[in-house]
């Protein structure tokens, strides 16, 4: 038989080229398997066009023989290419390169693609999280004393409920949370915070943020107005902004949020967000007269009040205050609580106390949008509360935070003697240092960053610029040694930046 020329000769040369090229690829050192390297090589050549659409590949028997590898490796690689559409087999004819890149005359553009930009809403949301990028434990607002949490006792409770969890807890849940936790919370809230509720009104969420999101989704539409404290909590600001609501800041003074300062012509709100027991970040308490006015305004305007009670357990001069929700019957208030501050943030458990008319729709929406979970963790928390560990931990942390606040005040005393003003600190987990100017605020934040310390500027908590200058100084999550060191640095930096360094050695004036 004579050798055929033309297309047949070219076809055979092509197959020989493939074999030779594969032989070199497989000979190179590599950590992957033979079939993976064979697959990678053939796919690369198909995608680059070196193996054109319609090309006949060497048979698996020929490839195995020429490359001296097991036929199973070849078959595995070819089968992957067939499954992904790069190769197609024709009975009795062999395996051919598919027209994967040009079907219907459409060419695949494999040039680098520019990443899409964030939406305006996404960009706006990220602006609220600027202080979350990094932090120093001495001054991180809202971080509890993780070193003092009773981890061994907690782990025992977790193990108990993980081992005994009923099989239905592994299924989708729509109960609104473990009944035992809702019952324990109900007893605790009625006694300690005068909340008017029964267990069915409590919905367990994955933190307060999820609660805010549910409220925004179910009780407001995009474009509706929400009134928020100014300055206020960035997490709530970000949540409502992401829901497409119009944020209307309302000034906070020494008596709390002042509804008399709502701008003339402001749209009526669908929601009013407040932290009445311990305003964040100023630390003031909403007066009784203001509470009454707030409830009356919400009823008149048909708005829901969101009461964020994030750290009311930590009061140092008096017992925890009664909730706004419990002040009058049938108040248009949704009470929001979290365990992030009182236990630890990674627990990711919070709760809503809902008016009865909202219980069923919120429970259904939560099950649809977020699903329920962590039932063994919820059951462990129920025992943690029922067995008295929660109350003892709160009492221990109250004493701990009182001492840590005193440590911070002592460290800042040289600056205080020269005029630095600190908030009263009768409650909570942070102090506010007032500053004379935004320039001084900027200088201190910049110098702290150079030292590896993150200071939270008070002006960043305002929706409307420029905001009042100052520093929000968390002390709960740091040891006494960390507080002393960071506080001493800040006192010296303030004395220097404010031009008072010359009188520092003179003590009190």
- The beta-carbon contacts of 224-227 under 8 Å, at least 24 apart in sequence, are 224/267, 224/269, 224/270, 224/271, 225/266, 225/267, 225/268, 225/269, 225/270, 226/269, 226/270, 226/271, 226/272, 226/273, 227/262, 227/266, 227/269, 227/271, 227/272, 227/273, 227/303
Q: Are 176 and 204 in contact (CB under 8 A)?
A: yes
Q: Are 399 and 357 in contact (CB under 8 A)?
A: no
In angstroms, the CA 2 to CA 318 distance is: 107
Same domain, 227 and 333: yes
Residue 122 pLDDT grade (very low, low, confident, very high; cuts 50, 70, 90): confident
Same domain, 383 and 396: no
Residue 127 pLDDT grade (very low, low, confident, very high; cuts 50, 70, 90): confident
Residue 123 pLDDT grade (very low, low, confident, very high; cuts 50, 70, 90): confident
Domain stops at, among 46, 77, 105: 105
Same domain, 403 and 456: yes
Our count of domains for the chain comes to 3
Residue 506 pLDDT grade (very low, low, confident, very high; cuts 50, 70, 90): very low
Residue 117 lies in a domain: no
**Domain limits for position 75:** 7-105
Q: What is the pLDDT of residues 360-369, one digit of tens each?
A: 999 999 999 9
Residues near 205 by beta carbon (within 8 Å), at least 6 away in sequence = 211, 214, 349, 350, 351, 352, 366, 370
In angstroms, the CA 192 to CA 175 distance is: 25
38, 70, 480 from 66: Cα distances, Å: 13, 11, 73
pLDDT surpassing 50 at residue 355: yes
pLDDT surpassing 90 at residue 397: yes
**DSSP-assigned states of every residue in 408-435:** HHHHHHHHHHTT-EE---SBSSEEEEE-
Amino acid 232: pLDDT: 96
Residue 112 lies in a domain: no
Residue 133 lies in a domain: no
Amino acid 45: pLDDT: 87
pLDDT surpassing 60 at residue 4: no
Same domain, 300 and 405: no
> What CATH number corresponds to the domain at position 63?
1.10.10.10
Residue 138 lies in a domain: no
Same domain, 230 and 327: yes
pLDDT surpassing 50 at residue 504: no
Residue 2 lies in a domain: no
In angstroms, the CA 263 to CA 251 distance is: 10
């Amino acid at each position: 038989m004579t050798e055929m020329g033309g297309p047949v000769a070219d076809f055979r040369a092509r197959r020989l080229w493939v074999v030779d090229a594969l032989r070199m690829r497989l000979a190179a050192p590599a950590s992957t398997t033979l079939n993976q390297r064979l697959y990678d090589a053939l796919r690369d050549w198909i995608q680059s066009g070196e193996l054109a659409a319609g090309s006949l590949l060497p048979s698996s028997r020929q490839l195995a023989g020429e490359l001296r590898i097991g036929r199973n490796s070849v078959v595995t690689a070819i089968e992957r290419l067939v499954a992904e559409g790069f190769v197609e087999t024709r009975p009795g004819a062999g395996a051919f390169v598919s027209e994967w890149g040009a079907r219907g005359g459409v060419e695949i553009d494999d040039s680098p693609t520019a990443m899409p930009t964030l939406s305006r809403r996404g960009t706006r949301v990220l602006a609220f999280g600027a202080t979350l990028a990094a932090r120093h434990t001495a001054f991180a607002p809202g971080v509890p004393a993780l070193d003092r949490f009773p981890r061994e006792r907690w782990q025992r409770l977790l193990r108990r409920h993980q081992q005994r969890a009923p099989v239905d807890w592994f299924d989708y849940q729509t109960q609104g949370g473990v009944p035992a936790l809702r019952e324990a919370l109900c007893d605790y809230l009625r006694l300690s915070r005068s909340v008017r509720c029964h267990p069915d009104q409590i919905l367990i969420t994955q933190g307060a943020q999820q609660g805010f999101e549910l409220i925004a989704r179910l009780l407001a539409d995009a474009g509706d107005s929400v009134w928020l404290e100014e300055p206020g909590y960035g997490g709530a600001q970000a949540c409502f902004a992401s829901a497409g609501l119009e944020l209307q800041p309302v000034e906070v003074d020494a008596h709390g949020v002042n509804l008399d300062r709502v701008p003339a012509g402001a749209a009526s709100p669908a929601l009013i967000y407040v932290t009445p027991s311990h305003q964040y970040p100023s630390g003031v308490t909403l007066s009784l007269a203001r509470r009454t006015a707030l409830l009356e305004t919400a009823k008149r305007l048909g708005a829901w009040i969101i009461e964020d009670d994030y750290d009311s357990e930590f009061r140092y001069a008096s017992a925890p205050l009664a909730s706004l929700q419990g002040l009058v019957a049938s108040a248009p208030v949704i009470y929001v609580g979290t365990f992030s501050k009182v236990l630890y943030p990674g627990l990711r458990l919070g709760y809503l106390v809902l008016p009865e008319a909202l219980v069923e729709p919120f429970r259904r929406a939560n099950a649809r949008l977020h699903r329920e979970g962590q039932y063994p963790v919820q059951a462990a928390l129920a025992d943690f509360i029922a067995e008295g560990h929660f109350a003892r931990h709160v009492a221990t942390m109250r004493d701990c935070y009182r001492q840590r606040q005193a440590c911070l005040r002592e460290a800042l005393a040289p600056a205080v003697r020269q005029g630095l003003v600190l908030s009263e600190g009768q409650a909570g987990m942070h102090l506010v240092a007032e500053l004379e100017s935004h320039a001084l605020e900027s200088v201190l934040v910049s110098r702290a960053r150079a030292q590896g310390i993150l200071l939270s500027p008070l002006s960043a908590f305002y929706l409307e610029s420029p905001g009042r200058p100052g520093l929000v100084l968390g002390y709960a999550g740091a040891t006494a040694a960390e507080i002393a060191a960071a506080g001493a640095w800040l006192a010296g930096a303030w004395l220097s930046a404010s031009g008072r360094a010359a009188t520092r050695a003179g003590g009190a004036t």
